[in-house]
Structure 1
Amino acid sequence: MRLGLQVPNFTWPTEEGALGDTFALIAERAERAGLYSLWVMDHFFQIPVVGPAEHEMLEGWSALAFAAGRTNRIRLGTLVTGVTYRHPGLLVKTATTLDVLSHGRSYFGIGAAWYEEEHRGLGVPFPPLAERFERLEETLQIALQMWTGDERPFRGKHYQLERPLNSPRPVQQPHPPILIGGGGERKTLRLVARYADACNLFAYGGREQLLHKLEVLREHCETIGRPYEQIEKTTLSSLRLSRDGRNGTLSPAAAVDFFGGLAELGIDQAIFSLPNVHELEPFELLATEIVPQVEKIAVAGR
Structure 2
Amino acid sequence: MSTPIALSPAVLREWPLPQPGFDGDKEARGHVLVVAGSAEMPGAAILAAEAALRAGAGKLTIATAASVAAQVGSVIPEARVIALGETSAHGFQADSARRLGELAGKVDAVLAGPGMEDEAATVELVRSLLERFSDTPIVLDARAMCAVHPRGEPHLLDEAVDWEQFRFAVPVLLTPHAGELARLTGGERANIEQEPQGAASAAAQRWNAVVALKGATTVLAAPDGGLWQHQGGNAGLAISGSGDVLAGLIAGLLARGATLEQAAAWGVALHGAAGEQLALRCGPLGYLAREMAAEIPALLRVLAAQ
- TM-based fold match above 0.5: no
Rg larger for:
1
TM-score w.r.t. the length of structure 1 is: 0.39
- Relative to total residues, which structure has the larger helix share, 1 or 2? 2
